[in-house]
Copies of this chain bind each other. A is one copy, B any other.
């Protein structure tokens, strides 16, 4: 049983404003819920149609009906498990050698894929511009596959952040120098831009180096998807 006010609260967490107000976010799906519970994230509440099936170190799982779950869920077809977690206090220290900076990435699937890529390549810090899509958006979380628990994500004023840094700042541009011929340093910042507009003008001015991914198709192909481009650049950083 879930009381009406709680159903309403959880449903409201689909909006960024309400997530920030309550300091809570929602994760759905057995595997991702398990991964987040078993990480350093703090549980607010767990719901399951079949609690016995959930492999977690947490005893207080609330049994719910499929109808109740669908009233809380953001999915068309809820899949039996929903966890509500406290948004962690973000460390404002940068710990990794390379930091990935996102300047206005809008698509939740792209951000989710990029978080998963950082996890794979051992990049523990992402700094997002204030207009980048929220990392606790349901579609982002669905695409991260639990990587959200292992990557530190901050939302900052990029101009201030970049002005204060002393390490090289690499921006990615269509007309940059090929990443395969560039010698990348041990420590740096890599900036990926918005899906349609790329890196914004004011941020571009603060780049110390301009990179590009060499193209081999015809001239008509416009650009790589930002998540695909990030995959290649992080691979090159670690290569």
| A residues whose Cβ falls under 8 Å from a Cβ of B | 109, 113, 116-122, 143, 145-147, 150, 180, 213-218, 220-222, 224-225, 227-229, 231-232, 235, 238-239
Residues of B within 8 A of A119 (CB): 217-218, 221
Residues of B within 8 A of A218 (CB): 119, 122, 150
**Beta-carbon nearest neighbor of A235 in chain B:** B232
Copies in the complex: 2
Cβ-defined partner of A227 (8 Å) among B120, B217, B220, B227: B227
Beyond the given pairs A180-B239, A228-B231, 7 more chain A to chain B contacts, judged by CB atoms under 8 angstroms and listed by A's residue number, are: A116-B225, A117-B225, A145-B222, A150-B218, A150-B221, A214-B238, A227-B227
CA distance A45 to B234 in the complex (A): 43
CA distance A221 to B113 in the complex (A): 12
Cβ-defined partner of A216 (8 Å) among B109, B120, B221: B120
Residues of B within 8 A of A146 (CB): 220
